[in-house]
Amino acid sequence: MTKYLFEANYVGEGIKGLMRDGGTKRRDAIVEALNSVGGSLESFYFAFGETDVLGVFDIPEQASAAALSLTINSTGSVNVHLKPLMTPEDLDEAAKKTPKYRAPGQ
């Protein structure tokens, strides 16, 4: 499973829905959505300022993560951004690889 950091902002009717339903119902909705794609919620926090909600979840495959992101964003009530997270061991493996690359202009 891949862990993802998610950051979300409520917009328009989403803000009104959050105020009406409260925070625990929004968290429950995310848990239900994650369960529907075989994922699970690790952490979930509300914040204020630049980001309204952030947390970490696990999803078994990228296609499911993309489907969840597309579904949530398509509502027009929430803008969600996902960032796949890597362990230090993942980075160790990446550092061992030597891809071929030519920089622009070289």
Q: Which of 91, 8, 68 is nearest to 17 (CA)?
A: 8
Residue 1: band (very low, low, confident or very high) from pLDDT cuts 50, 70, 90:
confident
- Rg of the chain in Å (alpha carbons): 17
The pLDDT mean for the chain works out to 96
> Where do the domains of the chain lie, and which CATH numbers do they carry?
2-95 (3.30.70.1060)
pLDDT tens, position by position, 8-17: 999 999 999 9
Bridge partners for 40 per DSSP = 58
Do 47 and 53 meet the contact criterion of CB atoms below 8 Å apart? yes
The 3-class SS string of 18-78 reads HHHHCHHHHHHHHHHHHHHCCCEEEEEEECCCCCCEEEEEEECCHHHHHHHHHHHHHCCCE
pLDDT tens, position by position, 39-82: 999 999 999 999 999 999 999 999 999 999 999 999 999 999 99
- CA end-to-end span of the chain, whole Å? 39
